[in-house]
Amino acid sequence: MQKTPLQKKIEVGNWIFLCAAAILSLIFLPSRYTLGIVLGGLISIVNFYWLSRDLKRLFEQYADKAKPYIMIKYFIRFIVTGIVLFLIITQTPVSVIGLVVGLSLVVINILITVIGANVKNPLRRFKKKNASPVIFI
């Protein structure tokens, strides 16, 4: 299954946001904040790729038993992420605030990318049958 242009733009944007946030925090903040942003951003990006891969596999191979499969994978991803975050918080001199900022980078990037795509070409929503004229509906 091919990646859509929007998905490619989001994936590239994730790395750009992470690099920009890391450079800015390295310049203006203590190193523990930078470490938190970098580790949080990496965890978030890895989760994004992991989810993307699982959803592709789900729709290609397991369409008939989709719900149990995706729920099991969701809980595995949730537990692994929790263990990694616990180890980072307890074993490294990381700033929790920086970690939260890093974890939020993918969400912020997705919002900006999707809103930007709708603002650049607002009439594309009207080309679809029964499309809402409002971006968020």
Please report, for the chain, the start and end positions of each structural domain, with discontinuous segments joined by +: 5-127
Q: Which of 36, 38, 42, 22 is nearest to 98 (CA)?
A: 36
Measure the CA–CA gap between 12 and 20, rounded to whole angstroms.
12
pLDDT confidence band for 5 (50 / 70 / 90): confident
Convert the pLDDT of each residue in 84-128 to its tens digit: 989 999 898 888 888 888 989 889 988 888 888 777 666 655 555
SS3 at position 119: helix
The 10 Å Cβ neighbour count of residue 123 is 7
pTM of the full structure: 0.72
Q: Is the dihedral of CA 82, 86, 92, 97 positive or negative?
A: positive
Q: Are 98 and 33 in contact (CB under 8 A)?
A: yes
Averaged over 65-72, what is the pLDDT?
72
pLDDT confidence band for 64 (50 / 70 / 90): low
Both tokens assigned to 10: 């989001």
Q: Are 107 and 4 in contact (CB under 8 A)?
A: no
pLDDT-wise least confident of 14-18, 62-66, 71-75, 102-106: 62-66
Q: Are 118 and 125 in contact (CB under 8 A)?
A: yes
Convert the pLDDT of each residue in 9-30 to its tens digit: 888 999 999 999 999 999 998 9
